[in-house]
Amino acid sequence: MGALFVAFSCLCDSLWVMEDLRFIYSLAVLLSGLVFYLGGRTIVRIFGRRKNLKIRRQEVLSKFLLFLSIVLAALLLVVIWGFKIKNIWIFATSFLGLFGIALFASWSLLSNIVSSFILFFTVPFHIGDVVEIRESDVLLVGVVEDLSLFYIFLRMDDNKVVIIPNNVALQRVIVRHSRKNAPH
């Protein structure tokens, strides 16, 4: 029984030496990324409560922290496992070049995404507000039902939902009413 333990111990020792502790470093990076994400999410929740930040905004910030944690962990794992930076750089520039061409081809999508971030941080209106937006010769009056990455959803008096692209909302004059002063 003792000989089996010694053999197993020698095998484990040789694996540790062979891998230069990369497994331990990788585990440390993954655990650090998890702690970074969970700690950041907790800070976002505490900050959100103190500043009366809407739950939806807290969720968006938490998703951004998750993305950031994954990217940082992936970069550190690449360094730990010794991938050649030149090969990664070639892949990254090729990917970014294709991504840039795709974004240029879909300029309105990029415009809507940027507009959603502007609306997110400037907060000209909230979900539940009654707003007026003039589109050409039509005056749209409705309750803001939802704000997404690409669209604003307005519920009209006749219960129809009008979907307005975020970039259009930034280019138009928007009048926000309190619910009791809303036009009918």
What domain range is 12 assigned to? 2-83
15 and 74 belong to one structural domain: yes
For residue 150, being part of any structural domain is answered with: yes
What is the number of structural domains in the chain? 2
Query: Residue 16 pLDDT > 80, yes or no?
Result: no
Q: Tens digits of per-residue pLDDT, 58-111?
A: 888 888 888 889 888 988 888 888 877 777 778 888 888 888 777 676 777 778
The last residue of a domain, from among 50, 83, 116: 83
* Mode of pairing for the β-strands spanning 130-135 and 174-177: antiparallel
The last residue of a domain, from among 27, 57, 83: 83
Bridge partners, 165 (sequence order): 151
Output 158 or 13, whichever has higher pLDDT: 158
78 and 140 belong to one structural domain: no
The last residue of a domain, from among 29, 53, 83: 83
79 and 129 belong to one structural domain: no
Q: Tens digits of per-residue pLDDT, 127-180?
A: 889 999 887 788 889 999 988 888 899 999 999 999 999 888 888 888 888 655
For residue 160, being part of any structural domain is answered with: yes
The residue type of 28 is A
141 and 78 belong to one structural domain: no
71 and 136 belong to one structural domain: no
| Residues 6+ positions from 57 with CB-CB distance below 8 Å | 48, 120
For residue 15, being part of any structural domain is answered with: yes
Q: Are 167 and 130 in contact (CB under 8 A)?
A: no
73 and 129 belong to one structural domain: no
